[in-house]
Homo-oligomer: A and B are copies of this chain.
Amino acid sequence: MKVDFSKLDRAFKPKTVAVVGASKKNNFHWLRNLSEFQGKVYSVQVNPESIEGIKALGIENVTSLLDIPVPLDLVIVTTPRTLAPRILDDCILKEVGAVHFFSSGFGETGQEEGKALERALVEKAERANCHIVGINCRGIFTPQIGLKQIAEQYSGLSGPVGLISQSGGQAMTFSRQAFLQGLTINKSISFGNGIVIQASDFLEYFGQDPEIKVIGLYLEGVKDGRRFFEALKKVSAQKPVVILKGGRTHDGGRAIASHTGSLAIPIAIWNAAVRQSGAVSVPGLEEMIDTLKALLFLPPVEGDRIGVAGGAGGESIAITDILAETGLKVPELTQKSYDELDTFFSLVGGSYRNPIDTDIGPNRRHLERVMMILSDDPNIDLLLLMTRAGKFLYSRDLLEKDIEIAGRIRQKSTKPLIAVLPFVTPEEMQETIEIIPRYQRNGIPVFPTMSRAALALKNTLDYHRFKRVKAVP
């Protein structure tokens, strides 16, 4: 089926939404999800007992979609599966932008009844060119207008990230975790079984959306491999795409069959195809978030020689091992840099070969100077500041100074800068969450652990290297 982007525009930024099947039994879940929605919400429900509760929420209820007097940009269906075909008929008559089926129990169950219902939906939708989101999914999250997958998501703000996920759980976990890491969603879609509108369609749609700068993809399988990888190649040339594949292992492949009914693909073939497309493969949500962050905030970096300031003793060594084991380098500096360090750096209790230990003690006050030496050193491509939250051997005052210094270095230096800001306690985690956006506003991505920083950086370097090689005629 040919996808009509103007219909997706209506679905992702609707002015009118109808929820079919909100009931007392499901605590009017999907109506509550829309409590901050900036457009008009209708409810479709025939059960008098539930209608009462819907009215108590201040929402207008009708007994048929066709009774709604305005065009509908998005219909959200939360009824049991058996009612789905009839509701789809009404959506087709109503010429809705898209219809999102939260309802599940179709092909993914493996049962005949579910499979037959799914086939009926596909046939109806394709004949009428009706855009189905789903089935068996959480649908659309456009935070800017308060269109949510669940009430606890944020609204009233917007960011540069597009997320396309087969799983609703992964979509919601991503939006929560990414937000705490200073990454805000622009548009997110959970599309479940993807029986009509598929991953390739959403990918191409996000590819041409100027508000979306980076795209995350969680997939368990694709219906049409050739088309998907063509779309992936096209979109990856426009903006970074980071892919997490669920069901990479034999046991995982078995597990996806009963989740979204996807077929397992040998992971080596999948990874090769992803690499050829210029997208980035990751093995988990955390690495997806971190990689999107690095791709978003860093310029097109390719050099892998890291100059590290901060950290102390054993931590400096852990930093170095982790970076080196991830395939990055922590090289020695030029003699010129060491000569300059010799003029002021206290050797007692401080490493200074790279990493340069400016964590605490007498060298702490030289942090900015040390970072400029790293910045000026021709052996170094990228600067890394090891800072931290909390009061354990540190203080808010030192943390604030780190932010100021990093901001100045980012201005003065031509080399990219990243920061690592680990936390141990909940209080430190809270402090970290408040600090991260302040760094990132200055173009300095912040990572919660050295391992996460290293992987994100490696993925980012690989992405830009691949892009340059491909760009050579």
Inside 8 A of A42's CB, which chain B residues have their CB? none
Is A139 in the interface zone, CB < 8 Å from B? no
Whether B284 and A451, one on each chain, are in contact in the complex, defined by CB atoms closer than 8 angstroms, is yes
Is A427 in the interface zone, CB < 8 Å from B? yes
A332 touching B254 in the complex, CB below 8 Å, given contacts A259-B313, A424-B180, A426-B427: yes
**0/1 per residue, A450-467, Cβ < 8 Å to B?**
010000000000000000
Whether B317 and A246, one on each chain, are in contact in the complex, defined by CB atoms closer than 8 angstroms, is yes
Binds B, one of A155-163, A164-172, A409-417: A164-172
Is A335 in the interface zone, CB < 8 Å from B? no
- Choice from B136, B220, B315, B324 contacting A169 with Cβ under 8 Å: B315
In this complex, the member of A170, A259, A325 whose beta carbon has the largest number of chain B beta carbons within 10 angstroms is: A259
Is A292 in the interface zone, CB < 8 Å from B? no
Is A368 in the interface zone, CB < 8 Å from B? no
- Choice from B247, B255, B354, B451 contacting A355 with Cβ under 8 Å: B255
Q: Which of A35-56 contact B (CB under 8 A)?
A: none
Measured between C-beta atoms, what is the minimum distance from A319 to chain B in Å? 8
Is A152 in the interface zone, CB < 8 Å from B? yes
Is A322 in the interface zone, CB < 8 Å from B? yes
Q: Which of A311-326 contact B (CB under 8 A)?
A: 312-318, 320-325
Whether A320 and B430, one on each chain, are in contact in the complex, defined by CB atoms closer than 8 angstroms, is no
Binding site for B on A (CB under 8 A): 81, 104-105, 109, 111, 136, 150, 152, 165-170, 172-173, 176-177, 180, 218, 220, 246-252, 254-256, 258-259, 283-285, 312-318, 320-325, 329-332, 347-349, 351-355, 391-393, 424-427, 429-430, 433, 451
7 A-B pairs, CB-CB below 8 angstroms? A150-B392, A152-B391, A172-B392, A180-B425, A249-B324, A251-B321, A283-B321
